[in-house]
Structure 1
Amino acid sequence: MSTGGFSLDQLMELAGLSVSQAVYIVHPPDKGNRVLVLCGPGNNGGDGLVAARHLWYFGYKPTVYFPKQGRNEIYERLSIQLRNLGVPFTDDYKTALSETDHIVDAIFGFSFSGAVRPPFDNVIEAIKSSGISVTSVDAPSSWDIENGPPPDGPGKDFMPAALVSLTAPKPLARFFTSAAASCRQIWRRSMACT
């Protein structure tokens, strides 16, 4: 994407819109409109912030957990846009989990490597054990881009209901076994939305 002259803002906007459209398909507002958007410090978190804004416009009630906000001006602007809409930010993900109908996992994306560190280790364990439907952005958080879910640690046995692959599926997609909706169904339905 970098060779096409796209700015980071444009890429995040496209990614966040795509994620919000996928959520609308796999978890329409009439199934419960409270969505917890979990954002990490990198670009995946920025995609989550954009998705939260679009979800608000689609009639959802998003809440954002963003504990390690990037100092980049882009993240500051995206946060201001959400606050101007009245979208709440929370530091208490445990309470937010008990008050949500769906989760958007925008913690770590395709560039993640290494061990999951606090506070995200506990967050991933909590969403995994919550029983709440999860849509992951580009990669389920904690998964290795090549080898999929880790053999142990907080991401072991973490399988979101839906995976939104941005630009193209990453090698980890071959380990994705959830069957909330097929890619073909989501693609056809999202094309009807545009």
Structure 2
Amino acid sequence: MATRYLTAKLAQQIDEELMSTAGAFSLDQLMELAGLACAQTLATVYKKEKYPRVLVCCGPGNQGGDGLVAARHLGMFGYQPTIYMPKPGSKDIYKRLQLQCDNMQIPTIPPSAELQPLQGALKSTDVILDAIFGFSFQPPIRAPFDNALPLLGKSGLPIVSVDIPSGWNVEKGNDLGVGLEPDVLISLTAPKEGVRLFKGRHFLGGRFVSKTLENKFGLNLPVYPDFAQIVELPQVEEEGSSQKL
């Protein structure tokens, strides 16, 4: 059986169960494991000898938190990450993750309505980690992201997107044509319906789904190799060959 692709409703339900009494995970735990998987994916595809400078683009929600964790791990892996946050998150967990990056001496581009700081950063970047919007994104793209996203897309740099490429609908994909077109995707927990036909290299991460949860929702997840936090998914099958909710 093929791995199950998730609708927005089921993805949200699984997240809630992971952090419920039955799942027993804290948000900190899930972000740490997800961010580590993101960093490992980028390091697997883009070796630091050729792509040392990483621009980690973080949104204000949980997706951005995953990006901050990934930035810290990339720094520990020997990369040179720089954090770009058009709109920093306000929650305490976000501020703590930012402080952890500060303590690793990872530079952060100060928030600005102007695009010059981002344009300057892109000139000294080898690869972009996109952790701006998650599966709860709803169009239209609002300021300050509406100008930043096209700039990232037109940069010509390779892009690694976290869970769902920023600007994509979780079920319809890039149906409006406003989202990023990444070279690599790291789905978390299980892949989403909107990326069923994604043509780039596709990895699955977040090695925290219990057997109980996997069986309950019929996820049919692939086996992770050894101690790796990620597993590469095969080329996409014909549409309709996997279960759809």
- Tell me the TM-score normalized by structure 2: 0.72
Structure 1 residue identity aligned to 2:58: C
Q: Does residue 95 in structure 1 map to residue 120 in structure 2?
A: yes
CA distance in 2, matches of 1:191, 1:127: 35
Structure 2 residue identity aligned to 1:95: G
Structure 2 residue identity aligned to 1:31: K
Q: Does residue 163 in structure 1 map to residue 185 in structure 2?
A: yes
Structure having the higher Rg: 2
Larger helix share, 1 or 2 = 1
Structure 2 residue identity aligned to 1:30: E
Of residues 147, 152, 174 in structure 2, which corresponds to 1:149? Answer: 174
The equivalent residue for 1:16 is: 35
Identity of aligned residues (%): 49
Q: Contact between 2:126 and 2:157, CA under 8 Å: does it hold in 1?
A: yes
Q: Contact between 1:44 and 1:106, CA under 8 Å: does it hold in 2?
A: yes
Q: Contact between 2:19 and 2:25, CA under 8 Å: does it hold in 1?
A: yes
CA distance in 2, matches of 1:145, 1:191: 30
Q: Contact between 1:22 and 1:164, CA under 8 Å: does it hold in 2?
A: yes
Tell me: higher relative CO, structure 1 or 2? Use CA pairs within 8 A at least 6 residues apart.
2
Over residues 149-194 of structure 1, what are the superposed CA-to-partner deviations in whole Å (9 max), with x where a residue is unaligned? 0324x32xx310111000000111113122xx3549xx89974656
Distance apart, 1:2 and its partner CA: 2.5
Distance apart, 1:120 and its partner CA: 1.0
Structure 2 runs not aligned, ≥5 long: 1-17, 111-116, 205-221, 230-245
Structure 1 stretches of 4+ with a deviation exceeding 2 A read 181-184, 187-194
Question: What SS does the aligned partner of 2:31 have?
Answer: helix
Distance apart, 1:29 and its partner CA: 0.4
Structure 2 residue identity aligned to 1:132: L
The 5-angstrom pairing of residues 1-194 of structure 1 reads 1-3=18-20, 4-91=23-110, 92-152=117-177, 154-155=178-179, 158-178=180-200, 181=201, 183=203, 191=226, 193=228
- Tell me the TM-score normalized by structure 1: 0.90
Structure 2 residue identity aligned to 1:80: L
Q: Contact between 1:22 and 1:190, CA under 8 Å: does it hold in 2?
A: no
